[in-house]
Structure 1
Amino acid sequence: MRYPFRRRNFFIKKEFQGKFILIYGLTLIGLAALITWILSTKIRNALEWQIYSSHLRVERTGDFMFGLLMETNVIGILAILGLVILISMVIVNRLNLHFQRMGTTLNQMAKGDFSQPPQAPSRFQEITQLISLLEEMKMHYREKFASLDDILQSIETAARDQADTDRLIQERDRLSQLLSRTRLPD
């Protein structure tokens, strides 16, 4: 499925990296410092021009404005960094919620319980793909285990009824065929 918002995909791919958040924060700090320097220079020049063109004779002006500008920008930078950290924490918590649900589903599958309800899809494309793959895997293993259980029940019934060897050989072949299609991880 293609999503029309390519910008979102770019952000999703980068949100797993702390480097992205660090670079984003450093860029904001650098940009704020550059704007502070430019504005302080402009304010200083404007004040000096105004005062020097008047009847007052003052040596240097604008330094008090630079202090106020720096203080304002430091507060702005801290607010922006706080916002970046808060948004990052929200995104990480939302992602962790999906991963915790997937972990719970996998633990239940390891215990043989395939009745876990399907997870709700995520707004993140990659997480939605992982969820759908997990659901496919759950359905696949549910079918495999049901077939295996059916074959074992048939073998047990045939052995209990002391059926002929042809039936036991047929059930053994079914079991071998099922096991040959099942691959376990190395």
Structure 2
Amino acid sequence: MSRNRKDILPFQRDGVREVDMGNRPPFRRRNYFIKKKFQIDFSIKFLIIIVIEAVLAIGLFLYLSKGTLTTGYLGAELKIASTYDFFLPMLLFSNLVIVGVTGIIGIIVLIFLSHKIAGPLYRFENVLGEIGKGDLTHRFKLREKDQFTELQNSINILTGILDKKVGNLKSEVSEISQLVSKTEAVAANPSANQELPHLLHEISERLRRLEESAGYFKTS
């Protein structure tokens, strides 16, 4: 039986828009590959480290077992062979299994861990892109378990300061623009020329304050 459309629309309660939670999907599949190149490179480097460790282990074994003999039973037969020949097949097989299992588990863990890094990096890129376009109202809001929360706070403080400073500059420019328009109107009226000195003084004072505000920024 189809549900009425109004049953799935947001509704207001005490001025707050709410959504009927019963109409939401039971779960939303999370995207763990936010920055694929970063996460894939991270996983490949991890695998390379595991392989290097396995090769070093085999190489160290071959070096230490050089010139030694080992006795052991092969079924009911007592066998004497060089340590190299006796253990190398088992060592190769065990290292192959270890590399495979460790690699699979490690990649899965790295994907989950890198998601906590790649997610914030993706949001940093987006928000910084908007800030670079001149929108200083953007603020970062990461999840509690994400990395870079300290960087988030630092950038939010910086953006807040820039927002305030640029807001002051815009306010000063707007006031100067109004004074200039008023001065032009007074200059066009000979009977009101006595106001010109006062207006020019106001403009001069506003320009001085504007220069002080702009002096906060250092440019190349």
Q: Which residue is equivalent to 1:51?
A: 77
Cα shift at 1:119: 2.0
Contact conserved, 1:105 with 1:116, CA < 8 A, in 2?
yes
How far is the alpha carbon of 1:159 from its aligned partner?
Answer: 1.5
Match of 1:45, SS? strand
Which of 104-113 and 20-29 deviates more? 20-29
Quote the residue 1:142 is aligned against. 163
Alpha-carbon spacing, 1:25–1:142, altered in 2? closer, same or farther (3 Å): farther
Amino acid in structure 2 at the alignment position of 1:26 = I
Identity %: 13
Displacement of 1:129: 2.8
Which one has the bigger helix percentage?
Answer: 1
1:82 counterpart residue number: 104
| CA shift for structure 1 position 86 | 3.8
- Range with bigger deviation, 116-125 or 131-140: 116-125
Q: Conserved in 2, the CA contact under 8 Å of 1:36 and 1:73?
A: no
Matched, 1:112 2:134: yes
How far apart in 2 are the matches of 1:59 and 1:31?
Answer: 24
Q: Give the structure with the higher percent strand.
A: 2
Selected match of 2:180 from 159, 162, 172: 159
Q: Distance in 1 between matches of 2:150 and 2:54?
A: 33
Give the alignment of 1:4-153 within 5 angstroms. 21=46, 22-31=48-57, 45-47=71-73, 51-52=77-78, 67=89, 70-120=92-142, 123=145, 127-153=148-174
2:32 equivalent in structure 1? none
Structure 1 residue 161 displacement after superposition? 2.1
Inter-partner Cα distance in structure 2 for 1:81 and 1:36: 24
- Does the 8 Å contact 2:43/2:110 carry over to 1? no
SS of 1:119's partner is coil
Matches within 5 A, 1:161-176: 161-162=182-183, 164-176=199-211
- The AA in structure 2 aligned to 1:181 is Y
Count of residues in Structure 1 that have an aligned counterpart in Structure 2: 158
Instruction: After superposition, give the CA deviation of every residue in 1:69-109 in whole Å (9 maximum; x if it has no partner).
Output: 64343122122123334434444443222122112111211
Q: Classify 1:78/1:49 alpha carbon distance in 2 versus 1 (closer, same or farther; 3 Å).
A: closer
Summarize the Cα distance change of 1:25–1:68 in structure 2 as closer, same or farther, 3 Å threshold: closer
Contact 2:172 2:206 in 1 (8 A): yes
Q: Which of 79-88 and 64-73 deviates more?
A: 64-73
Segment of structure 1 superposing worse, 64-73 or 131-140 = 64-73
Instruction: Tell me the SS of whatever aligns to 2:73.
Output: helix
* Partner-residue secondary structure (3-state), 1:155: helix
Q: Which of 1 and 2 has greater Rg?
A: 2
**TM-score, with length taken from structure 1:** 0.63
Structure 1 Cα separation of the partners of residues 87 and 50 of structure 2: 28
Equivalent position amino acid for 1:153 in 2: S
